[in-house]
Amino acid sequence: MEANKYLDDITEIKNIMNRSSRFISLSGMSGVLAGIYALIGAALAYIRLKTFSSANYDGFSGRSSALWGTDLIQDLILIALVVVVLAAVTGFLMTLNKSKKSGEKIWDATSKRLVANFLIPLIAGGIFCLVLIQYGAVGLVAPATLVFYGLACVNASKYTMGDVRYMGLAFVIIGLISTQFIGYGLYFWALGFGVFHIIYGAMMYFKYDRK
Amino acid sequence: MSLIDNINKAFDHRIRLGIMSVLMVNDHADFKMLKELLGATDGNLASHTKALEKSAYIKVEKSFIGRKPNTRYSATKLGKLQFKKHINALEKLIGK
């Protein structure tokens, strides 16, 4: 009898510790969808690059200045932006939906802390990437985005499901590996933002969402 | 007997356990946050925080955010130590 009461106490303590310090309504399925968007985006970017290089690769003009023609850059940035916005909106809506179900508030101390800690490395990384472009080190942009996104996940993992930490580490590792394969950024992007999101999103979905 | 000794009467209530649990993993929490997390009424929560404050297990800071009064709670060193002992005692009792 007594032992049961104490067991309840312990369960309650753990529950409150988690609920008060971690935002646990993050939707796993939205990770999967974000990964799918990223793969579609990567495929579109690949096609766009292919058509560009076959149209322009006539010996001389395939060099740097022509390669970074504004049309191509605009299209690639557009693709990236659409992917990011779609992924963010999907993630927000599905998380909102899940938090409604679980009774957790979407905008409370835990989610604010989660967002702040996620954004600090991410914004630093974004600015750093702009600097890389400024100095013409375009090849390092893809590795840098992967590394900083990974660090953002590692940092945010303290305030949500701990599993996010491992996804972050995976991003950091492939980001660092990709520094040795400059020019293959798109493939590493597809692997990270596409495949990793799908794998980890699915893992989280089966672990937390399907109850 | 020694096992029972570590069960701290000051924590022997759902709301008080809750308050301490929140303050163990958060540097501080305000009244509203505790209320929402624990699902307690104002009066109920106030009396339990007062009791814990009296035992010097939690620290209370009152301030103003703009014009609104804000009460902020944090666990003291003593409070954290005693709460850990309490949890250990609970775990031992369950383990039996």
Min Cα–Cα distance to chain A from B16, Å: 10
Q: Shortest Cα distance from A102 to chain B (angstroms)?
A: 13
- Exposed (0-12), middle (13-18) or buried (19+): which is A47, by Cβ within 10 Å? exposed
Q: What is the pLDDT of residue A193?
A: 95
A-chain residues near B14 (CB < 8 A): 9, 12
Q: ∠ at Cα B74 (B71, B77), nearest 5°?
A: 150
**Residue B92: its H or E element:** helix B77-95
| Residue B51 vs residues A52, A174, B15, B54, B57: alpha-carbon distances, Å | 72, 53, 11, 5, 9
Contact A16 B22 (CB under 8 A): yes
Residue A65 has what pLDDT? 47
Between CA A197 and CA A118 the distance in angstroms is: 16
**Average pLDDT along chain B:** 88
Instruction: Describe chain A by its helix, strand, coil percentages, rounded to 5.
Output: 80, 0, 20
CB proximity B24 to A under 8 Å: yes
Query: How do residues B6-52 score in pLDDT, each as one tens digit?
Result: 778 888 888 999 999 999 998 889 898 899 889 889 999 999 999 99
What's the first-to-final CA gap in chain A, in angstroms?
A: 29
* Tokens encoding A49: 């690059």
pLDDT in tens, A25-52: 888 999 999 999 999 999 999 998 888 7
Full domain range(s) for residue B62 = 2-95
Provide the residue ranges of all domains of chain A, joining segments of one domain with +: 26-209
Work out the angle at residue A164's Cα, subtended by the Cα atoms of residues A46 and A196, and round it to the nearest 5 degrees: 25
Check A20 against B17: CB less than 8 A apart.
Answer: no
Average pLDDT, chain A: 87
Residue B86, domain CATH: 1.10.10.10
Residue A209: pLDDT band (50, 70, 90) is confident
Against a cut of 0.95, is the pTM above it? Answer: no
Give yes or no for a contact between A61 and A118, defined as CB atoms under 8 angstroms apart. no
Given a cut of 70, whether residue B54 has pLDDT beyond it is yes
Residues of A near B (CB-CB distance < 8 A)? 2-3, 6-7, 9-10, 12-13, 16-17, 19-21, 105, 108-109
d(CA A169, CA A148): 10
* Higher-confidence position of A135 and A50: A135
Please report which confidence band the pLDDT of residue A57 belongs to, taking 50, 70 and 90 as the band edges. Answer: low
How many contacts, defined by CB atoms under 8 Å, are there between A and B?
Answer: 49
- pLDDT (tens digit per residue) in A156-182: 998 998 889 999 999 999 999 999 999
Between A112 and A68, residue with greater pLDDT: A112
Nearest to A3 by CA among B40, B81, B1, B4: B4
Q: Does B26 touch chain A (CB under 8 A)?
A: yes
Number of H helices, E strands in chain A: 9, 0
**What secondary structure does DSSP assign to B29-57, as a single string?**
EEHHHHHHHHT--HHHHHHHHHHHHHTTS
What is the domain count for chain B? 1
Chain A residues touching residue B36 (CB < 8 angstroms): 105, 108
Hey, what are A69's tokens?
Answer: 């023609």
Predicted pLDDT of residue B1: 45
The string over B14-28, giving b where at least 16 C-beta atoms fall within 10 Å of a residue's C-beta and e elsewhere, is ebbbbbbbbbbebee
